[in-house]
Structure 1
Amino acid sequence: MSALHKDRLPIQKVYLFGSYARGNPHRWSDIDLCVVSPRFTDPWKATQYLWSKRTTDRGRTIEPVGFSPKDFQHESPLTREIKKTGIEVA
């Protein structure tokens, strides 16, 4: 997150989702994060940008995805999963 703040990325929301949010991570689980920012105009490019900034946390790989607020409101299997089981962390 500090790399995103360094780039002055306006962040509307951040969700933890996947196995950590469901409370059932296993030894090889990654940390799934969804970042919603008004600066993102294309989910693919947003995710590419976030991957370029990703790090590890205590040996766990962070797997980010990004959406604009508008794209996050559109229904897709991924956004439904994030809205259903995700935990808003920022």
Structure 2
Amino acid sequence: MDREHALMIVKCYKEAILPLLANAKVYLYGSCSRNEARKDSDIDVAVVIPKLNGDWLDTTSSLWLATLNIDTSIEPVLIEECKPSPLYDDIMRNGIAV
């Protein structure tokens, strides 16, 4: 899958999750963002929020459920800006904001 196709899918995904997390920023990262994806590659998506005001498991489950209506190759990860990590740093450097 090329980067443009992945971005189109992630834009649809973002629209689907914004009612759940209105202040979320969504990023494409990984092989699709680098345009190195193969046919069997997943679509790595970071959902970045300032701070989670609710249950992490419920929120993460909702993010995964939203993939069922868009594309099951989407692999969402929930990240809080208030809890930076090496993954967060990499996404901020190399990810593509959607």
| TM-score computed with the length of structure 2 as normaliser | 0.65
Aligned partner (choices 66, 69, 74) of residue 62 of structure 1: 74
Aligned-residue RMSD, C-alpha: 2.6
Aligned twin of 2:63: 50
Structure 1 residue runs of 4 or more that deviate by more than 6 Å after TM superposition: none
Q: Where is the strand percentage greater, Structure 1 or Structure 2?
A: 1
Structure 1 residue 38 displacement after superposition: 4.0
Query: Quick one: percent identity of the two aligned structures?
Result: 39
Aligned twin of 1:87: 96
Structure 2 unmatched runs, 5+: 1-13
| TM-score computed with the length of structure 1 as normaliser | 0.69
In structure 2, do the counterparts of structure 1 residues 43 and 86 end up closer, same or farther at CA, with 3 Å as the change threshold?
farther
- Do residues 33 (structure 1) and 42 (structure 2) align? no
Q: Show CA shifts across 1:28-82 (max 9, x none).
A: 011111112346248953433311222343xx610001123312xx1x2321221
In structure 2, do the counterparts of structure 1 residues 32 and 43 end up closer, same or farther at CA, with 3 Å as the change threshold?
farther
- Do residues 15 (structure 1) and 27 (structure 2) align? yes
Structure 1 unmatched runs, 5+: none
Q: How many residues align?
A: 83
In structure 2, do the counterparts of structure 1 residues 65 and 38 end up closer, same or farther at CA, with 3 Å as the change threshold?
same
